[in-house]
Chain A
Amino acid sequence: MTTKLSRRDFLKVSTLLGGLTLAPDLPGWMPRMAFAPAGVEPAGDILVTVFQRGAMDGLNAVIPHGESNYYDLRKTLAIPEPKPGDDQTGIDLDGFFSLHPSLRPLKDLWDDQALAIVHAVGSPDPTHSHFDAMDYMERGTPGEKKITTGWIGRHLQTAPWQNDSPFRAIGMGGIMQASLRGPVPVATLRSIADFHLQGRPEDLERLRRNLASLYSAGSALDAEAVETFSAVDLLSSIDVSTYAPEGGAAYPDTEFGLALQQVAQIVKAEIGMEVACVDIGGWDTHNQQGVLTGTMPALLDELATGLAAFYHDLGERAERVTLVTMSEFGRRAYENGSGGTDHGHGNLMFVLGGNVNGGKVYGEWPGLAEEQLYGPGDLAVTTDFRDVLAEIVQKRLANPNLEEVFPNYPAWKNLGVVVDGG
């Protein structure tokens, strides 16, 4: 196999192999090269998005401890000001902002300059509805309900290269994220281990052979079946059970942790993945959200442990991966009467990867004084979330067609969060 296989050739090969899996001794040519015709293979990073469903309380995740208003608004929920040597206080980042102590695993990445934070970021739309806000953010079109595709879907659609991998876009969790909507097919994946033909184990080989025959009689679904078999084969080359994360990485033993670990495995397997979407839910903390322990600190710990494990596990591959987090909106600046926070506006985004201009908090801080708050008492938005995403799409994903990825948003602001890949 000295030359590149075309997509068609590849399909033929996998059909001929029939019931066999694409053998592990087929080397690393496999995916990216097999799927992308010469000269037009994906030019940019692999994108990973983490959506924090429910609206994270950004003010208690990355705390503006330099602003006294914070302590007035959060009488019982405030995270104590950083005190060196005291792990029950915030972790100072730059003298003004500090990390919640449960985000400690992120401090290494920050020191490595692999992690950037954008604060007071969000959607210009004022909605406090989870549903609408998520929808706007995932479609990348705040206030606009006409456009049915997602921003990642449009990125894949308009990227100046081809890639026919069935795993070009992956929605982790079994249900497709709205950001992925568009004409490019998306594989939804609960777990790599489950993406195979199931049935009575002793019959599987026969069942597969016969299914393949049933889909070789000229039905309009035949092509899809061939595609499905090749996708199954491709994933079967990834051994989940013996996977040992590298770099001392330890993923949290949760759905989120497992999802990130599998994304790392797929990155390493080089099966042509360009984007993966991962969710972590539970952030809608109206009641007793906890200060140093409790609901929200546990979630922060899960998030930080997962992100750090992912970064360490990727090792040098992190140079070609950019991960970005988002949440539909932030939470009210002042705490409510039940130890929680209500729906707000501005929030924060983490940007992680080998080519991130990390170690810095980006964005203009709007302040928490009464007249500086937005609407019913929310952190204002000074950076549109599309600024962060557009910069990643252009500089790291190498797609210049931003007017199509973010329609009606021509003048995005260049924050300099990531290195321009050229």
Chain B
Amino acid sequence: MTAKITRRDFLKTSGLLAAGMALAACRPQVETEMAAPVGPSPPQTPWPTTVPADEALLAHTLRRISWGPTPEMFERARSLGLDAYIEEQLHPETLDDSEVESLLDNFETLTMTPGERDELEKRAQPIQELIGATLLRQWRSPRQLYEVVVDFWSNHFNIFIGKNQCRVLKTDDDLDVIRPNALGKFADLLSASAHSPAMLVYLDQASSGKRAPNENYARELMELHTISVDGGYSHDDIIEVARAFTGWSVAGRRDVLRKAGSFLFRRQMHDDGEKRVMDLAIPAGGGEEDGQMILDYLGHHEMTARFISTKLARRFVADEPPASLVAKLSQTFTESGGDTREMLRVLLRSDEFRNSAGQKVKRPLEFFISALRVTNARIGSRSRALVDYLRQLGQVPFFWSPPTGYPDTADWWMTTSGLLGRWNFGLLLAAGMIRGAEVDLESLTADAASPRDVVDVLSIRFLGEKLPDDARDILIDFASQGDLGDNLAGVAGLIMGSPHFQVR
């Protein structure tokens, strides 16, 4: 990325990035939507393309492992070779993220304790800054695949930041649970999540005691985090898991042993009897170990392997993941001890992945970030309107209230309001009509002298390849009417509005 935003601009930006969220924060019900089994099927075949096979594979891969490929990414991938590039992306620690890190210094709540966040006068500030930091990383970090995977796990272990104290706790979940474990072992991530105060509050575990165990976390732990609804558990198993986790709680202001907002095992609330969960027997008197035993058991279960594999394949390959790939990934999960990096390595080299071009529709957040990335947008000091578009498109990070995470299939997102919202965002962004976001189309097309060149340059920049002939002809015709310079915004807006830009 060559776009420059000054630090000063950014300071203003971050405040305002944030400001758009404030309203939403007051209305905890917002953005509560679930997958609906309607709508058009996702594209089954990509449009015909004349691009050489290896270039097409490169573009396809970069679209899937990033928030929108930039020319810099293409350049790097071509010079390293695709396999080596994937390997580099799988090791984000080797990629310099200092620009983003230094901008993040401006988000003071990222380094505060939950107690400090809770004392802020601006109650929405922790929410605003975490969302701002997340968007910033997706937009500008060179660790693109890592940010995609972080988003995947953030949705798998979904926490709605608008629920009660999640407001001040989710930041730690992001920094200490999701990010350090995103490319690591699943069981470690699961255990970290189970100890995460934000999760314990979100799923009502923090207040669960032996007299009346709350089953919410127990249920979602099995259904959504590990073995899935098909995992073969009964309601009795849920009750047993709930008993085992009684006492897993969060320290409050009055607790002296731990800092407010950190994990606390409340022994006196724990049910110390013996339990049986599926084929796991837990002896009496295990205390805090009860829960850990269950996490170890579920974290390595073959149904967990299958469920995580299915979801990863849905994320990276197709809404209906190929069974052959799910089987392959499940095996990798089992053999590698649930190693996410290893699973991605297998996935990204699989034929199923390579043959899946055009089969995933961008979700609103992917659409939004990719538009900012490919247009090399400069985000100015008044970006409230910009973030408001994301809110309207319906996918602000951490604002999905049910524990399922944002749906990952096209049918949910492709609605009339959704499509109109994308068209308008693309057209307005290209025309410079979104306050706070500036796009310099002249410099993007500096070398293009003819309508044909303009269309090709912009489509390669936005899509990673030329448009198929019919769409290309439509746009060349458009660009040929009247002054070419006057048509730049139209061409750019139409490409972003086109069906081709809606897929990744």
Contact = CB atoms under 8 A, between A and B. Distances in A.
Interface of A: 51, 53, 129-131, 134-135, 138, 145, 148-149, 153, 166, 174-178, 181-190, 195, 197-200, 203, 206-207, 210-211, 213-215, 217, 219-225, 227-228, 231-232, 279, 281
B29 A177 contact: yes
B48 to A, nearest CB: 10
Given A183-B36, A197-B427, A220-B41, A211 B416 contact: no
* Chief secondary structure at chain B's binding surface: loop
A148 B35 contact: yes
A224 B164 contact: no
B100 interface: no
19 contacts: A129-B163, A135-B402, A145-B216, A148-B402, A174-B392, A175-B31, A176-B31, A176-B33, A181-B32, A181-B36, A185-B38, A185-B416, A195-B417, A217-B470, A219-B43, A221-B419, A224-B414, A227-B416, A281-B27
Interface in B416-448: 416-417, 419-420, 423-424, 427-428, 430-431, 433
Given A148-B404, A211-B423, A203 B490 contact: yes
A57 B394 CA distance: 31
Nearest to B428: A198
A53 B26 CA distance: 9
B498 interface: yes
Interface stretch (B179-187, B267-275, B471-479): B471-479
A134, A176, A214, A224: most-surrounded residue (chain B CB, <10 A): A214
B49 interface: no
Contact of B416 (A53, A131, A187, A206): A187
Contacts, number: 171
Contacts of B29: 51, 53, 130-131, 134-135, 138, 177-178
Contacts of B44: 220
B160, B361, B430, B470: most-surrounded residue (chain A CB, <10 A): B470
B428 A281 contact: no
Nearest to A149: B34
A219 B28 CA distance: 37
B52 interface: no
A177 B502 CA distance: 25
Given A131-B401, A221-B419, A228-B416, 8 more contacts: A175-B391, A185-B38, A185-B39, A199-B489, A210-B494, A214-B497, A220-B40, A279-B27
Given A53-B29, A138-B32, A210-B478, A198 B417 contact: no
A210 B160 contact: no
B164 A131 contact: yes
B162 interface: yes
Closest 5 CB pairs of A and B: A199-B427, A219-B499, A148-B34, A220-B43, A178-B32
B481 interface: yes
Q: Contact size class for B?
A: 35 or more
Given A53-B27, A224-B416, A207 B36 contact: no
Nearest to A200: B431
B358 to A, nearest CB: 9
Contacts of B502: 221
Contacts of A221: 40, 43, 361, 414, 419, 499, 502
B31, B417, B478, B490: most-surrounded residue (chain A CB, <10 A): B417
B115 interface: no
B420 A232 contact: yes
A197 B423 contact: yes
Contacts of B321: none
A187 B417 contact: yes
A281 B28 CA distance: 11
Contacts of B481: 206
A214 B420 contact: no
A85 B416 CA distance: 53
B20 interface: no
Contacts of B402: 135, 145, 148
B24, B164, B474: most-surrounded residue (chain A CB, <10 A): B474
Contacts of A145: 216, 219, 402-403
B493 interface: yes
A131 B37 contact: no
Contacts of B420: 195, 197, 228, 231-232
Contacts of B498: 211, 214-215
A276 B54 CA distance: 51
Contacts of B27: 53, 279, 281
A199 B433 CA distance: 7
A77 B477 CA distance: 70
Contacts of A228: 416, 419-420, 423
Interface string B8-37: 000000000000000010111111111111
